[in-house]
């Protein structure tokens, strides 16, 4: 019995030795390319592949079962394409059976174990190359983006760069769920521009797409992707945005004599029916080939290796397993992913990477990571020069233009012109500048329909010709709109604009009659009146408490019984008003306090009067334009003004597609009343000659304003948009046109062309310069208000004096028992003589009741005394600073004499 068992065992071993060795593979059911890659590689190295398919990710029991089945089949190693927890389970069983376990992808849950060989570059290799690359790029601030569930083993050294000992600021953001936009928008809002992205290959397209959708694929953004598969994707949609994108590549594509790569590519395409290029292979497929090659090389080193049928139940290890694994770790092999060198733990720490950058010309190698050193070797020829030669140099393009001043004109000439010589204008000169930079030739074709999409989905005009390859470029006042951009591509904008309102300049309106009152605001006038009253009261109070202001009314009396004070309310207000009017007053302060207050008031009035006079001229000479409307809403509500736009174009489309109720109503009104026009020049003529407001783009509006001085722009812009050069979708010229336009902008060439065609040629500059005018004279219309104030003031004064005269006449008629008429006639006779400055006191003769002359004299004496008191008081005020008693006595004597001479 024992002899029989021994014989069968020897026989089975000989059979195994004579048959091909088996390499096991465990992959998920949807990993068809990986299964084909293992079969092709095993066949190339004279192995047999035994593949097990795991139905669902995370099925640990199913994975364990397949490992045991492969062990029972007598495999010499297992290539693991699962990753994650499944790889840990495979590793545990292989460790027990001492069966070589080869992993082909980065394992987030990796723990140090001698029985595994990882073909994917180790976290240590990535940390070294990333740290050196960021230092080379001089990123002082950068953000680490990682997908949830993906470990940060490859970013450990970068996280340390955020410590105090490093001059770097490191930010960490997790991309979770199926929508990465919120995280990316937050990063953009915080001003982050440099990113290191660590995510599985299957998430790359989603990260790129969401970054582009939130506007983070522009020139100011830079990315480093850890996945070696980044440049196996189709990057055409990102290459023209200007983003700086750096990635790694393991395969050596520069070696055109790499027969293994071409053989593998050819065989793989034959098996799958695909037509992949070597640079389109995912890293996992190449690592499967290299894993098989490592096993093959170790088998050749370790001769007489015999496979065994192992069982998970018996816990028996393979005798050759540990030896084979050691040879695999120590043996140096050159595979598709360059040198396969492992450390004692089976990790690839010494890896060679190609560093690639995304450019408008495609993926370009900028350097290499080899022998743990970074070598940057950028192309000597600039990217712009490469693309010019490759794409536009010596080509002839068909360019669509439109006859729309100032962008395109038919050239004025006495001779018959042909070809491109027939046209001139801003865009004609612009395309000439572009051709000088990029080296292409061009032929013009006129197309007045800029292009739009009809209700049936068909395109018209320029857009249609570009889409059907009947033209290469369209350059005119072609507005970049969402509808047009869905059908064609546009270059970077060469001009920014908006919709404005063109209207005729209203006639000048003369200043208002009382415009001189507008120099100061109402508040200032109110406060001026209030402060004069308040200061009058203050002067009365200060004057009454200052003893020097109490003066002797009769200087001839040395010891008067009474003192008088000049600061009555009327005198105080008169002093203040006289200061404001710059005329002064006969009232002069004597004490120190009133003088100080008066001096401060004079200073205040000097400032106020100077400010008033300095500003008055402008208010009297400026004639304002009074517009019938200032906003779109006011125009819409106007009953006398019509409005419209060009029938075909983005301006009309703006009103038609607007969500504003006002704009929608205006559009319906334009169409209903047939206010839309065929061309801009028709709308300009209507705006100049009728009550018509024309909506047009601000650049065209500025052009017409320079040539029609009686037109102006009312209000601001209704929107913001840009002009661009149209071309077909995914045009190979777009990037180069963009670069050339940016070059012209930076050099100021576009602004120069704009000044030439807007302000110089074809009647430009007519209204731009200020015309010399004679010195503005102030006519009667400017000064009418001052005359009115003077006349009204005089009339008020005359009215008050008449009332005062009538009141005096009334008192005398009552006092002396005469008629009012008699006293009024006598008063008017004296006033109308206009001669004499002395007025005698008149009264009729009175007959005393007792008939005695003594009584009459007594009554007359009383009147004389009252009159003399009045004369004395007046004379005293006139001579209060004189101390000559003789002068006073003489005045009194004259008064007595005149009184006595009157009968």
Q: Where are the domains of the chain?
A: 10-120+271-340, 123-249+352-376, 392-497+724-759, 518-622, 626-719, 803-901
Q: In sequence order, what are the beta bridge partners of 141? A: 169
* Pairing, β 333-335 against β 338-340: antiparallel
Please provide the CATH number assigned to the domain covering 392-497+724-759: 3.40.190.10
| Residue 385 assigned ligand-binding role | no
What was the pLDDT predicted at 798? 58
According to the annotation, is 272 in a ligand binding site? no
Buried b (16+ CB within 10 A) or exposed e, 41-64: bbebbebebbbbebeeeebeebbb
CA atoms within 13 A on the CB side of 511: 23
What is 825-882 written as a DSSP string? HHHHHHHHT---S-----------SS--HHHHHHHHHHHHHHHHHHHHHHHHHHTTT-
* Contact partners, residue 662, CB within 8 Å, separation at least 6: 632, 633, 636
As given in the structure block, the two tokens for residue 808 are 């005096």
Consult the annotation and say whether 479 binds a ligand.
yes
Q: Torsion-angle region of residue 310: left (phi > 0), alpha (psi -120 to 50) or beta?
A: beta
Q: 10-120+271-340 — its CATH code?
A: 3.40.50.2300
Element (H, E) at 528: helix 522-545
Can you say whether the dihedral through the CA atoms of 781, 783, 786, 788 is positive or negative? negative
Cβ atoms of 74 and 62 closer than 8 Å: no
Neighbours of 308 (CB within 10 A): 21
pTM of the model: 0.47
Q: What pLDDT is stored for residue 22 in this prediction?
A: 94
Using the structure block, give the residue that is written with the tokens 């009769």. Answer: 554
pLDDT computed for residue 514 by the predictor: 60
**Per-residue pLDDT at 803:** 82
Nearest residue to 248 (alpha-carbon basis) of 339, 137, 337: 337
Q: Please, what sign has the CA dihedral across residues 704, 709, 714, 715?
A: positive
Q: Which two tokens stand for residue 180?
A: 């990465």
What DSSP string runs through 103-119?
Answer: E-S--TT----TTEEE-
What distance in Å separates the CA atoms of residue 238 and residue 232, rounded to the nearest whole number?
14
- Neighbouring-strand partners of residue 496: 722
CB count within 10 Å of CB 794 equals 10
Q: What are the φ and ψ backbone dihedral angles of 236, each rounded to 5 degrees?
A: -60, -35
Strand 473-474 to strand 396-401: parallel, antiparallel, or no bridges (unpaired)? parallel
Residue 707 annotated as binding site: no
Which pLDDT value is given to residue 622? 61
Question: What local confidence, expressed as pLDDT, does residue 896 receive?
Answer: 42
Task: Tell me the two tokens of residue 657.
Answer: 């597609």
Do residues 573 and 532 make contact, with C-beta atoms less than 8 angstroms apart? Answer: yes
Q: pLDDT digits over 653-688, tens only?
A: 888 888 888 899 999 999 998 899 888 888 888 888
- Output the CA torsion 13→16→18→19 (10° steps): 170
Query: What are the residues whose beta carbons fall under 8 Å from the beta carbon of 847, sequence distance 6 or more?
Result: 856
Tokens of 472: 């290469």
| Residue ranges of the chain whose pLDDT lies below 50 | 1-18, 380-390, 770-775, 777-778, 783, 786-787, 790, 846, 849, 851-853, 856-857, 859-903
Q: Which fold has domain 626-719?
A: D-Maltodextrin-Binding Protein; domain 2 (3.40.190)
Query: Which CATH number applies to 518-622: 1.10.510, 1.10.287, 1.25.40, 1.10.10?
Result: 1.10.287
What pLDDT sits at residue 873? 43
Which are the contacts of 477, defined by CB distance < 8 A and separation ≥ 6?
402, 404, 407, 427, 697, 699, 700, 723
Query: Is residue 416 marked as binding?
Result: no
pLDDT at 888: 42
Residue % of the chain over a pLDDT of 90: 18
Looking at residue 144, what is its pLDDT?
A: 92
Domains 392-497+724-759 and 626-719 in one fold: yes
- CA distances (Å), 490 to each of 168, 614, 696, 746, in order? 39, 56, 22, 20
pLDDT at position 762 is: 76
Fold annotation for 123-249+352-376: Rossmann fold (3.40.50)
Closest Cα to residue 281, out of 340, 355, 231? 231
Q: What is the pLDDT of residue 444?
A: 92
Using CA atoms of 250, 251, 252, 253 in order, give the dihedral in degrees to the nearest 10: -130
């Amino acid at each position: 019995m024992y002899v029989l068992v021994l014989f069968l065992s020897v026989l089975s071993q000989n059979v195994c030795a004579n048959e091909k060795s088996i390499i096991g593979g465990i992959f998920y059911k949807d990993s068809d390319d990986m299964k084909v890659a293992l079969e092709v590689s095993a066949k190339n190295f004279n192995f047999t592949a035994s593949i097990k398919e795991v139905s669902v990710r995370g099925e640990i029991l199913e994975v364990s079962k397949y490992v045991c089945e492969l062990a029972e089949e007598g495999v010499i190693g297992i290539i693991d394409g699962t990753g994650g927890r499944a790889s840990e389970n495979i590793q545990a069983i292989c460790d027990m059976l001492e069966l070589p376990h080869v992993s082909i992808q980065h394992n987030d849950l990796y723990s140090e174990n001698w029985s595994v060989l990882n073909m994917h570059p180790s976290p240590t290799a990535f940390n070294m190359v990333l740290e050196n690359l960021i230092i080379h790029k001089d990123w002082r601030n950068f953000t680490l983006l990682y997908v949830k569930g993906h470990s940060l083993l490859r970013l450990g050294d970068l996280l340390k760069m955020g410590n105090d000992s490093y001059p770097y600021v490191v930010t960490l953001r997790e991309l979770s769920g199926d929508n990465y936009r919120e995280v990316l928008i937050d990063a953009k809002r915080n001003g982050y521009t440099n990113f290191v992205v660590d995510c599985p290959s299957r998430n790359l397209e989603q990260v790129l797409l969401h970054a582009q959708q939130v506007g983070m694929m522009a020139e100011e953004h830079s990315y480093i992707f850890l996945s070696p598969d980044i440049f196996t994707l189709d990057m055409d949609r990102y290459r023209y945005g200007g983003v700086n994108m750096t990635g790694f590549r393991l395969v050596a594509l520069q070696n055109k004599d790499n027969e293994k790569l071409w053989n593998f590519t050819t065989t793989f395409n034959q098996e799958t029916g695909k037509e992949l290029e070597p640079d389109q292979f995912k890293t996992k497929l190449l690592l499967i080939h290299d894993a098989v090659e490592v096993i093959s090389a170790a088998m050749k080193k370790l001769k007489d290796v015999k496979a065994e049928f192992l069982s998970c139940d018996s816990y028996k290890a393979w005798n050759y397993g540990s030896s084979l694994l050691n040879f695999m770790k120590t043996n140096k092999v050159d595979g598709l992913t360059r040198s396969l060198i492992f450390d004692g733990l089976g990790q690839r720490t010494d890896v060679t990477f190609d560093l690639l950058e995304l450019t408008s010309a495609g993926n370009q190698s900028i350097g290499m990571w080899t022998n743990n050193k970074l070598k940057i070797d950028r192309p000597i020829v600039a990217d712009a020069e490469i693309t010019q030669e490759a794409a536009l140099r010596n080509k002839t393009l068909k360019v669509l233009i439109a006859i729309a001043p100032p962008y395109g004109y038919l050239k004025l000439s006495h001779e018959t012109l042909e070809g491109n010589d027939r046209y001139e204008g801003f865009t004609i000169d612009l395309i000439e500048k572009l051709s000088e930079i990029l080296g292409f030739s061009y032929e013009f074709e006129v197309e007045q329909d800029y292009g739009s999409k009809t209700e049936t989905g068909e395109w018209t005009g320029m857009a249609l010709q570009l889409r059907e390859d009947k033209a290469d470029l369209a350059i005119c006042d072609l507005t970049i709109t969402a509808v047009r951009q869905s059908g064609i591509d546009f270059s970077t904008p060469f001009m920014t604009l908006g919709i404005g309102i063109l209207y005729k300049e209203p006639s000048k309106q003369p200043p208002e009659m009382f415009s001189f009152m507008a120099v100061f605001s109402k508040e200032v006038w109110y406060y001026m009146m209030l402060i004069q009253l308040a200061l009058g009261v203050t002067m009365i109070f200060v004057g009454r408490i200052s003893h020097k202001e109490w003066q002797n009314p009769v200087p001839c009396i040395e010891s008067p019984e009474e003192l008088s004070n000049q600061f009555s309310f009327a005198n105080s207000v008169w002093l203040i008003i006289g200061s404001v009017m710059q005329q002064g007053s006969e009232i002069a302060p004597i004490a120190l306090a009133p003088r100080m207050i008066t001096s401060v008031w004079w200073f205040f009035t000097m400032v106020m009067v100077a400010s008033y006079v300095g500003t008055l001229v402008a208010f009297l000479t400026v004639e304002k334009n009074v517009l019938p409307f200032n906003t779109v809403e006011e125009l819409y509500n106007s009953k006398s003004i019509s409005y419209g736009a060009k029938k075909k174009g983005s301006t009309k489309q703006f009103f038609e597609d607007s969500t504003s109720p006002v704009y929608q109503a205006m559009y319906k009104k334009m169409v209903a009343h047939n206010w839309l026009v065929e061309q801009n020049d028709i709308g300009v003529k209507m705006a100049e000659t009728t009550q018509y407001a024309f909506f047009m783009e601000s650049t065209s509006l500025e052009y017409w304003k320079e040539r029609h001085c009686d037109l102006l722009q009312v209000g601001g812009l209704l929107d913001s948009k840009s002009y661009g050069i149209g071309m077909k979708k995914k045009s190979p010229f777009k990037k180069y046109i963009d670069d050339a336009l940016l070059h012209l902008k930076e050099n100021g060439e576009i602004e120069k062309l704009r000044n030439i065609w807007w302000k110089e040629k074809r009647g430009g500059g007519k209204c731009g310069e200020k015309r010399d005018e004679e010195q503005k004279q102030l006519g009667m219309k400017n000064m009418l208000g001052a005359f009115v104030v003077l006349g009204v003031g005089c009339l008020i004064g005359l009215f008050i004096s008449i009332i005062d005269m009538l009141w005096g006449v009334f008192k005398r008629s009552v006092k002396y028992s005469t008629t009012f008429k008699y006293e009024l006639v006598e008063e008017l006779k004296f006033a109308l003589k206009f001669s004499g400055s002395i007025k005698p006191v008149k009264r009729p003769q009175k007959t005393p009741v007792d008939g005695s002359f003594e009584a009459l004299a007594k009554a007359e004496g009383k009147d004389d005394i009252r009159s003399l008191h009045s004369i004395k008081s007046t004379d005293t005020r006139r001579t209060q600073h004189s101390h000559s008693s003789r002068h006073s006595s003489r005045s009194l004597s004259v008064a007595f004499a005149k009184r006595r001479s009157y009968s």
